[in-house]
Amino acid sequence: MHVLVIFAHPSRGSFTGQVAEAFCQGLHTAGHTVEFADLYQEGFNPTMEAAQFDLETSMDPQSPRPGDVQAEQARLDRAEGLVFVYPFWWSDVPAILKGWFDRVWTYGYAYAYEADRSRTSQLRVQKALALCLAGHTDEKLEALGLRDAHYRILVEDRLLGVGIPEAHLEIMGGLSGNLPERRTELLLRARSLGQAF
């Protein structure tokens, strides 16, 4: 399987970067090919400008999209698997990744409406995973309802909602305090998730 890994953290040398690397090692071990997209390093512009907004709200699937959006969609066209690796900031993805969804999930590509109001999609991705790192412990994420809320928004709306047949969320919590044993455990988990993808 060819997997597109989208990395959304300002530092590739961060622990989030180490988790992304471990996950990719697992993918390679399993025989998958990987395309790695580092949104910060590549300078992806997450801000939707007025011209693109006008295209989106025209709901014309033939409207030309900006070149950088077309480049992201070309990456998606090559992928059978899609993985997002990012930190959990203020109960959501980093702004650059939210902007990626805003700009790349265009009308006529990620979704469109038929005459009967049913949704269609041009996405070819068959499987997706959101791999999210959080400071809160798993227990606190559950107690606050953050895991369920993030699942509904990211998996149910942004992934399953655009026609990807299979999508999962893996929140790796408990990173506050930088405990070495927790980090080792999560790196092993990331590698295992890559092998099983």
| Cβ–Cβ under 8 Å, residues 64 and 125 | no
Band of the pLDDT at 115, cuts 50, 70, 90? Answer: confident
Q: What is the pLDDT of residues 61-79, one digit of tens each?
A: 888 899 999 999 999 999 9
81, pLDDT greater than 90: yes
| Cβ–Cβ under 8 Å, residues 163 and 128 | no
Q: How confident is the model at residue 42, as a pLDDT?
A: 98
Domains of the chain listed by start with CATH number: 2-196 (3.40.50.360)
Q: How far apart are the first and last CA of the chain?
A: 9
Q: How confident is the model at residue 87, as a pLDDT?
A: 98
Q: What is the pLDDT of residues 166-183, one digit of tens each?
A: 999 999 999 988 789 999
| Cβ–Cβ under 8 Å, residues 3 and 27 | yes
Distances (CA, A) of 93 to 84, 87, 96, 154, 163: 10, 7, 8, 9, 20
114, pLDDT greater than 90: no
Q: How confident is the model at residue 107, as a pLDDT?
A: 92
Q: What is the pLDDT of residues 124-163, one digit of tens each?
A: 999 999 999 999 998 999 999 999 999 999 999 999 999 9
Per-residue exposure over 93-104, b if at least 16 CB sit within 10 Å of its own CB, e if not: bbebbbbbbbbb
Distances (CA, A) of 43 to 9, 49, 65, 143, 163: 12, 16, 18, 36, 28
Band of the pLDDT at 118, cuts 50, 70, 90? Answer: confident
Q: How confident is the model at residue 116, as a pLDDT?
A: 76
Question: Does the global pTM surpass 0.75?
Answer: yes
